[in-house]
Amino acid sequence: MVIINAITVKNILFGYNKKDVLRDITFDVLEGEFLSIIGPNGSGKSTLLKTLNHIFIPKSGQILIKDLPIENYKKKDLAKYMAMVPQDTNVDFEFRVEEVVAMGRHPFQKRFQQETKEDEDIIYQSMELTNTLEIRNRYINEISGGERQRVFIAKALAQKPSIILLDEPTSHLDINHQMDILNLLKRLNEENGITVVLVIHDINLASRYSDRILLLDSGEVIGLGNPEEVISIENIEKSYGMNVAIERNKYTDHIYLTPIEIKHRIKDKKYYNIHIISGGGTGQELINRLYGEGHSLSLGVLNVGDSDWQHGRSLRIEIVEEKPFSSISDKSYKKALDKVKESDIVIMTNVPIGSGNLLNLKLAERSIELGKKIIYYEEDHYENFDFTNGEATTILDSMKAKGIKVIKNIDDIIEELK
Amino acid sequence: MKILGRKSYAVVLVSMFITLILAIMITSNIGSASISTYDVFRIISSKIPYIGRTIDIGDITLGQHTIIWNVRLPRVILGALVGASLAISGASFQGLLKNPMADPFILGISSGAALGASIAIITKVTFSFFGFSFVSITAFIGALLAVFTVYNIGRIKNKVPVTTLLLAGVAVGQFLTAIMSFLMVIYNKDMTKIIYWTLGSLAGKGWTPITTLGVPLTITMIILTFFAKDLNVMLTGEESAKSLGINVERTKIYILILGTFLTSLSVSVSGIIGFVGLIIPHIVRLITGPDHRILLPASAFAGGTFMIIADTIARTAISPMEVPVGIITALFGGPFFIYLLRLKKKSI
């Protein structure tokens, strides 16, 4: 099967007045795909969509619609190939739903031509596909937001387009109606072969429904590809300025993003490379706070499957790993030591120490010798943290003697780092 | 099952047209001089080429003939033309500006025309051109200049955002009205004349305005209906309209020009007759819905009918004195509109 480009965008530049809103944008939309355009507010998403529809004309660069420059199309011919559902679907006048859908036939009609039998059939089918038949006689200004969105999609379908562009079709809708609209679009995409390009704010819905995602920031393409490629910690941090956790949602099996904290990169604030030695969940809260503060973290050695390991992975933090339920090998110890050498500060939690993870304690001891600043985070003091018949206690005591800082709560650690 | 009920559209339009013709015939019949309907019918028929020769009007006095043919009939027809023009431009401006408060005068036409007319009244120049008085000519020019100014203030590069256009209209209108009021204070001897002009009248114009303006007004109204479909689509949003292949900015300019032309011409002969252009489209919309394909022609018929009825009341209510027709349109139109609004509310 030959994949054809429905839309090809080459190096387009667009700006209102002097400010450039889109800078050197290049991408393509494949025939039959479901493409979401995401990006923070003001990144140029809607502008890009309107440029694709020839509502805005780029200052330079080229847009090809099915291999022909967009300027070569007559306005009405373009409307037969591509339909647009605008962001604002408010209509103040009392048109009936059916009349609004019928307007989609405008490009096919002459000035005084009435609807033909064919037009009527297409209008009927468009309403049938979008479940708007039962509200066909109601007034457009009296139906709900979700219904209105479906009516405008029906109007777009009445244009018999190959491509539908939608500008934030799910904003202002509750979660039920958001999914309703996206399911409808997915159905039109899969069953009717319509190429769907939509601007959407909800990254999770975008990754769930889209074949590909285009991530924009400040008018530039940050990423283009399937959701797994584009929705990465780095990309989201770069474009949205957010610390996020990304994992696979166990119910939908799609990429799922949880916002953790807005990154406040403050000028005079110091950011450290911190290595955390923890395990068994003793590090979770600490990891969250330090991550939220914007420090660069590394973890380890941690056994694969450990709760700190899972937590670190969902935040895409670098982890020195050991096989599940195995003792720390010399190889992992050396890797962790390299991480310690790269770091400014080492923090050790009061994770229980047994023969399997004794090397972690030795790692902490070694880092004192390397001249690193080391903090021992001891939230609650357990008497029985030592499962090594006293060896761990001896090491810890000697470390304390060498002057490591013992801090009992996270706020004090944050304070200590300032 | 019929989409959009096209058949009922035709029924509505035809019955409104018949109502207009009936109104013309009946109102020509009403007045202080009593002349029988049959005689009125004969006088009008005798003017129709070919058929006219077969009708004997020997028994009708010259006086009766003059009253019907030279006074009442041209006045009624002029009323129909002016009413139709104002109503159809009101309807298209309301659609264009997406604003139910819009009327044909909203872009400064009334203020411009009034100022123009005031200047002519004050300077007392008696000059006429193709049978149009100097007052008519200055009023027409004033109206056009006002809209031209408003358009250029409201325009941002080659786009005309609706909000800036409306604001510019209000601002320029207020400014021109202030100048007119100032002139009225200074030349207070002409104040009554100016006030009468601004209240509008269809009296004593004869056939001249109809023979010169009838054709251009009718043609402009027909051209305006060409844009009915585009106006419909534009009401669902300008971006929507653009993506459906409509050249929105150009369509806006065409409608502005056509509406301004209709209104300015009407105002130049009849003065400022308010309310028709505002409420007739609303009343018609209550009956037909917002589809401009029917709304525009139906507004024209309804506007014409309403105007000649209002004018008949104006000339007969306290006969032999005349009430300016603008007073009647507002006096009767206002309450009627409120009644319709309440009726509509109850039905929802």
Residue A363 has pLDDT above 60, yes or no: yes
Q: For A154-220, give the secondary structure using H, E and C.
A: HHHHCCCCCEEEEECCCCCCCHHHHHHHHHHHHHHHHHCCCEEEEECCCHHHHHHHCCEEEEEECCE
The Cα B129–Cα B151 span in angstroms is 28
Name, of B57-61, B276-280, B300-304, the range with top average pLDDT.
Answer: B300-304
From chain B, pick out residues whose CB is under 8 angstroms from the CB of A84.
239-240, 243
Give B294→chain A minimum CA distance, Å: 12
Contact between A163 and A29 under an 8 Å Cβ cutoff? The reply is yes
Across the interface, of A82, A90, A102, the residue whose CB is closest to B4 is: A102
The Cα B247–Cα B216 span in angstroms is 26
Q: What's the pLDDT at B7? A: 61
Contact between B303 and B92 under an 8 Å Cβ cutoff? The reply is no
Give A83→chain B minimum CA distance, Å: 7
A50 touches chain B (CB under 8 A): yes
Across the interface, of B95, B240, B245, the residue whose CB is closest to A86 is: B240
Q: What's the pLDDT at B2? A: 36
The Cα B76–Cα B31 span in angstroms is 12
User: Nearest residue on chain B to A90, judged by CA atoms?
Assistant: B236
Tokens of A194: 């319509």
The Cα A34–Cα A45 span in angstroms is 16
> With a CB-CB cutoff of 8 Å, which residues 86-145 of chain A face chain B?
86, 88-96, 98-100, 102-104, 106-107, 109, 111-112, 114-115, 120, 123, 140
Residue A403 vs residues A81, A338, A350, A373, A374: alpha-carbon distances, Å: 74, 23, 17, 10, 9
Choose from B98, B225, B240 for mutation: most chain A CBs within 10 A.
B240
From chain B, pick out residues whose CB is under 8 angstroms from the CB of A74.
245
State residue B245 phi and psi, 5-degree precision.
90, 15
Q: Span B224-237, mean pLDDT?
A: 91
State residue A24 phi and psi, 5-degree precision.
50, 55
pLDDT digits (tens, 9 = 90+) for A264-291: 655 566 788 899 999 888 888 888 888 8
Q: Which residue has the tokens 């399937």?
A: A226
Pick the closest to residue B296 from B83, B94, B99, B88 (CA basis).
Answer: B88
User: Nearest residue on chain B to A47, judged by CA atoms?
Assistant: B239
From chain A, pick out residues whose CB is under 8 angstroms from the CB of B235.
91-93, 95
User: Nearest residue on chain B to A159, judged by CA atoms?
Assistant: B244
The Cα A204–Cα A33 span in angstroms is 18
pLDDT digits (tens, 9 = 90+) for B53-101: 777 777 778 888 888 888 888 999 999 999 999 999 999 999 998 887 8
Across the interface, of B237, B245, B285, the residue whose CB is closest to A75 is: B245
Residue B347 has pLDDT above 80, yes or no: no
Contact between B147 and B111 under an 8 Å Cβ cutoff? The reply is no
From chain A, pick out residues whose CB is under 8 angstroms from the CB of B232.
95, 99, 103
Give A168→chain B minimum CA distance, Å: 14
Residue B118 CA, distance from chain mean position: 21
Pick the closest to residue A127 from A166, A190, A194, A184 (CA basis).
Answer: A184
pTM attached to this predicted model: 0.77
Angle at Cα A271 formed by Cα A266 and Cα A274, nearest 5°?
Answer: 155
Give B229→chain A minimum CA distance, Å: 7
H or E element, residue A300 = strand A296-303
**CB neighbours (10 Å) of residue B339?**
10
Interface predicted TM-score (ipTM) of this complex, two decimals: 0.79
A307 touches chain B (CB under 8 A): no
From chain B, pick out residues whose CB is under 8 angstroms from the CB of A96.
289
Contact between A102 and A123 under an 8 Å Cβ cutoff? The reply is yes
What are the strands of the beta sheet with A220-225, ordered from one edge? A82-85, A163-167, A195-199, A34-38, A212-217, A220-225
Across the interface, of A92, A106, A123, the residue whose CB is closest to B245 is: A106
Task: Give the pLDDT band (50/70/90) at residue A381.
Answer: low
Residue B6 has pLDDT above 80, yes or no: no
Across the interface, of B98, B244, B290, the residue whose CB is closest to A106 is: B244
From chain B, pick out residues whose CB is under 8 angstroms from the CB of A127.
none
Q: What's the pLDDT at A215? A: 95
Name, of A70-79, B132-141, B158-167, the range with top average pLDDT.
Answer: A70-79
- The answer for residues whose C-beta is within 8 angstroms of residue B219's C-beta and 6 or more apart is none
Residue A150 has pLDDT above 70, yes or no: yes
User: Nearest residue on chain A to B242, judged by CA atoms?
Assistant: A55
